[in-house]
Amino acid sequence: MAARNAGTARPGGPNRTCQFKLVLLGESAVGKSSLVLRFVKGQFHEYQESTIGAAFLTQTVCLDDATIKFEIWDTAGQERYHSLAPMYYRGAQAAIVVYDITNQESFQKAKNWVKELQRQASPNIVMALAGNKADVANKRTVEYEEANAYAEDNALLFMETSAKTSMNVNDIFMAIAKKLPIGPAQGEPTGTVDMNQPQQQQKGSCCK
Q: Considering only residues 25, 36, 40, 54, which one is a binding residue for other proteins as defined by CB under 8 A?
A: 54
Q: Which is nearer to other proteins, 28 or 148 (CB)?
A: 28
- Binding segment for other proteins (CB under 8 A), chosen from 71-79, 114-122, 148-156, 172-180, is 71-79
Check binding of 50 to other proteins (CB under 8 A).
yes
183 phi-psi bin (left φ>0, alpha ψ -120 to 50, beta other): left
Is 201 a binder of other proteins (CB under 8 A)?
no
Closest CA to 158 of 14, 33, 31, 171: 171
For other proteins, the binding residue among 7, 45, 149, 194 (CB under 8 A) is: 45
> Whole-angstrom Cα distance, residue 121 to residue 162?
27
Cα–Cα distance, 128 to 175 (Å, whole number): 9
Q: Please, is 180 exposed, middle or buried when counting C-beta atoms within 10 Å of its C-beta (0-12, 13-18, 19+)?
A: buried
Site string for other proteins, 1-20 (x = CB under 8 A): ------------------x-
**Single residue of 81, 118, 150, 166 touching other proteins by CB under 8 A:** 81
Q: Please say which residue, 75 or 162, places its beta carbon nearer to other proteins.
A: 75
Long-range contacts of 148-151 (CB under 8 A, 24+ apart): 150/111
Q: Rule CB under 8 A: say whether 58 interacts with other proteins.
A: yes
* 135 in contact with other proteins (CB under 8 A): no
CA distance 87 to 178: 25
User: Which residues contact other proteins (rule: CB under 8 A)?
Assistant: 19, 28-29, 45-54, 56, 58, 69, 71, 73, 76-78, 80-81, 83-84, 87-88
